[in-house]
Amino acid sequence: MENDKSSVDILKDIAKRADWEINIQERVLNARYGHTSRNVIIRNYQIKNSYFISAQSTNFGKYRIYSGVFFPVSGYDNYKLLIRKRNQLDKFSLRKNKLRFKIGNSSFDSKVHVDTNNDIETHKLLSSSKIQLEIIEYLNTADCLYVGFNEINPNFNKDLEGKKFLSVFMAMGWMLDRKQIDKAYKLGDRLRSKFN
């Protein structure tokens, strides 16, 4: 961390400089073992109906720690999507490779792994080569980056309860770089426009 600042302090600084509203919730669940639950919600009112959320919980799910931009989207309750950078295991699994979703653009398909339950909606969402390029560029900026729909639905705040989200997020850590946060907002906002 820069200058020994905590992750929360870094996000406070980013929010203050950008004039974003920040809400921090921290609970000590077990002081003896250092178990805490931390949730940070930032509202950037320049990008309508969006949240920047960073969360850390004590459960052992795959999204115990995550951070990213979340856009509530209605009317797609059953739609699932997860986009991530392809890894070595993806390339060695020949059977899975044949069965996986592909958009039809080899430069995109060779770099990105897409899990979805609706090929038609996903083709509509990813049909633009410009969006494909933006996704590739975004996923290459850091490790553990994802684009998801109904993958994470944070509900620890009344504003967030019962909603489904398009998300551009990082797992296993928090986004603490303003440029990366801005890129997540830009990509997420562009993808959200495809759902309207």
**pLDDT tens for residues 95-117?**
666 678 899 999 999 999 999 99
- Predicted local distance difference test score (pLDDT) of residue 2: 47
- Predicted local distance difference test score (pLDDT) of residue 194: 85
**Identity (one letter) of the amino acid at 126?**
L
Burial class (CB in 10 A: 0-12, 13-18, 19+), 13: middle
**Identity (one letter) of the amino acid at 178?**
R
Low-confidence ranges of the chain (pLDDT < 70): 1-4, 28-35, 93-98, 196
- Parent domain of 17: 2-193
Q: Supply φ then ψ for residue 84, to 5 degrees.
A: -145, 170
- Predicted local distance difference test score (pLDDT) of residue 88: 76
Burial class (CB in 10 A: 0-12, 13-18, 19+), 91: exposed
- Predicted local distance difference test score (pLDDT) of residue 1: 40
**Whole-number Å distance between alpha carbons of 194 and 187:** 11
- Predicted local distance difference test score (pLDDT) of residue 23: 93
Tally the domains of the chain. 1
pTM of the model: 0.88
Burial track 129-151 (b if 16+ CB lie within 10 A, e otherwise)? eebbebbbebbeeeeebbbbbbb
- Report the chain's terminal Cα–Cα distance, integer Å: 39
- Predicted local distance difference test score (pLDDT) of residue 131: 95
Burial class (CB in 10 A: 0-12, 13-18, 19+), 89: exposed
Per the CB < 8 A criterion, the answer to whether 37 and 29 are in contact is: yes
